[in-house]
Structure 1
Amino acid sequence: MIVEEERDLTGLRVVVTGAGRDTGRTLATALAERGAHVFVSARDPAAAERTAEAIARGGVGTAEPFRCDLADHVSVRGFAASLAARTDRVDVLVNNAAAYLSVPDLDGVDDDAIAATIGATATGTVLLTKHVLPLLRASARPDIVNLVSACGEVGHHRSAAHPAYYAAKHAQAGFAEILSHRLRPEGIRVISLFPPDFVQDGPRAADGPLTARSVVECALFAIGQPRDCFIREFRFEQHRPRDGSSVADE
């Protein structure tokens, strides 16, 4: 019975960035399945609309789609303003969106791609959190959830991601750490997840790679805990296939 109460998010107002596909869409859908009203954002407004429509078909929680390009400061401020016009509070902000570069060589992409990766993933996350913070402060149970990545861990070198992605994720990790320390006196929980290489779908077996659904359920678990429980971080073991190879981050 206690578990069911913790899983019930009815009435919560939740913002999910990068919710147009993959892990972000899984997050938004899972939150809605537990009764939340989800403000779905994506760089592609059509993708945000598709997620919101899928949530509507589920018939439990509700959703509204928004465009938000974290690499565009004007877009970030516009999204935050739209939220303020639609709601008097935000209970959960999920910083999921990130610009991923799969080219491992520093000189393998042009300057604009590097700037966009760091700008969207690091600067965009900081700016959106800043502008949504007044709405979080208006909540009786505010949480900030950051989907960071093992690429943000000191000493991690097992992903084939571009160095700019590593730099952006280290920036996110540092931001989350200081934010957790400074916002805790206000009762705002900052929850960060550092998943290693993972796949969107899979058997969820002990000998298989981490799946997006398992990452999402860690976030849901932390959000559902009583307010005296501050879970700051989730760290995961790196999957090691029998042949010694690894799977790529998604």
Structure 2
Amino acid sequence: MTDPRTDTMAGKTVLVTGGTSGIGKATASCLAGMGAHVAITGRDRERAEQAAGEIRTAGDGQVDVFDADLSSQSEVRRLASGVLQTYARIDVLVNNVGGYWNTRHVTADGLEHTFALNHIAPFLLTNLLLDRLKHGGPARVVTVSSNAQAMGRIDFDDLQGERSYSGARAYNQSKLANVLFTYELARRLGTSAVTANVLHPGVVSTSFGADDPGRVQQLLVPFMRPFMKAPARGAATSVRLASDPGLERETGLFFANSKAKRSSKRSYDEAVAARLWRVSADLVGLTATG
């Protein structure tokens, strides 16, 4: 894990979505300890303020709070508006928020919850903040995916799981979408000073999926928990991608255990990535170019 006593991130502004617990909180805490001005998001304002207080207590970094349910597009837009009004520059966006639901839920926008939160939220938020990221000079977009991307497939005929739903299939699809989005974003950014990378944090001991766990999770997680990474170790790759000066020009890469590696064969399909971008842009009402 990066030494939190360094000042590598001094003067940098970082937004971490889903920063109230688990990997997100550990990421925010470490970056704040490295001198960054950190903002975290959470659905519950009181819980987010408590997390921010704990992060402040652990170090000297400045921590702000934005409350937003990122499964809702109007909430994502409200968050982006608040962030843009608050910060003249954004140096790093960490798209960390995510979830797993064993049963199908529909958001206020009529989208399947897993797809909406895990893919549409980072897609929309990144696009809304992109001009500000570009404006500040070298900046980074870091998106948390999972090795589950290797089992994912983008089903354009049933993206929302209306015909057939499986919690695992929906999750795997959303994590592949994270990788496809990142690679397509990197291509679209071209020679811009903004980089885009995606990562697998490892199998981490958090409350992930606890709201609506599948049977396999219920049976296996209690036995696996002693062997899972602590959140701070799980955050190590996110922290490196957000802070390592040596990665300033690295873009369009998948990382695991803090090292670049190949992602699944499907993730390199540029036609699928471009189509997913267009479909996603249509779902959120953005103009899709290219």
TM-score normalised by the shorter chain: which range applies?
A: 0.7 to 0.9
Q: CA deviation at 1:235?
A: 3.0
Equivalent residue for 1:177, pick from 177, 180, 183: 183
Paired residue for 2:219?
none
Give 1:1-250 correspondences, 5 Å limit. Answer: 8-101=8-101, 103=102, 109-112=103-106, 115-154=112-151, 162-200=168-206, 208-222=227-241, 223-226=243-246, 227-230=248-251, 232-235=253-256
Unaligned runs of 5+ in 1: 104-108, 202-206, 237-250
Q: CA deviation at 1:135?
A: 1.4
Q: Retained in 2: the 8 A contact 1:189–1:232?
A: no
Q: Retained in 2: the 8 A contact 1:121–1:169?
A: yes
Q: SS of the counterpart of 1:63?
A: strand
| Alpha-carbon spacing, 1:144–1:79, altered in 2? closer, same or farther (3 Å) | same
Paired residue for 1:243?
none
Whole-Å Cα distance in 2 between the matches of residues 54 and 213 of structure 1? 14
Q: SS of the counterpart of 2:99?
A: coil
Q: SS of the counterpart of 2:199?
A: strand
Whole-Å Cα distance in 1 between the matches of residues 180 and 51 of structure 2? 30
Q: SS of the counterpart of 1:198?
A: coil
Q: How many residues align?
A: 220
Whole-Å Cα distance in 1 between the matches of residues 5 and 249 of structure 2? 16
Q: CA deviation at 1:18?
A: 0.5
**TM-score, length-normalised on structure 1?**
0.78
* Identical columns (%): 25
Q: CA deviation at 1:161?
A: 5.7
Q: CA deviation at 1:151?
A: 1.2
Q: SS of the counterpart of 1:112?
A: coil
Whichever residue aligns with residue 171 of structure 1, its letter is A
1:122-167 Cα shifts (integer Å, max 9, x gaps): 11110011111111112222001111111112579xxx96221112
Q: CA deviation at 1:230?
A: 4.4
Whichever residue aligns with residue 44 of structure 2, its letter is D
Paired residue for 1:246?
none
Q: Retained in 1: the 8 A contact 2:95–2:141?
A: yes
Whichever residue aligns with residue 25 of structure 1, its letter is K
Q: CA deviation at 1:184?
A: 4.1
Q: CA deviation at 1:194?
A: 1.8
Q: CA deviation at 1:214?
A: 2.3
Whole-Å Cα distance in 2 between the matches of residues 163 and 155 of structure 1? 7
Q: CA deviation at 1:186?
A: 0.2
Whole-Å Cα distance in 1 between the matches of residues 55 and 204 of structure 2? 24
Q: SS of the counterpart of 1:144?
A: strand
Q: CA deviation at 1:233?
A: 1.8
Paired residue for 2:218?
none
Q: SS of the counterpart of 1:88?
A: coil
Q: Retained in 2: the 8 A contact 1:142–1:188?
A: yes
Q: SS of the counterpart of 1:221?
A: helix
Once the two structures are overlaid, the 10-residue window that deviates more, 81-90 or 5-14, is 5-14
Paired residue for 2:263?
none
Whichever residue aligns with residue 67 of structure 1, its letter is D
| Alpha-carbon spacing, 1:42–1:163, altered in 2? closer, same or farther (3 Å) | same
1:21-53 Cα shifts (integer Å, max 9, x gaps): 111111111110111111111122222211211
Whole-Å Cα distance in 2 between the matches of residues 95 and 19 of structure 1? 10
Q: Retained in 2: the 8 A contact 1:44–1:67?
A: yes
Whichever residue aligns with residue 163 of structure 1, its letter is R
Whichever residue aligns with residue 253 of structure 2, its letter is R
Whichever residue aligns with residue 151 of structure 1, its letter is A
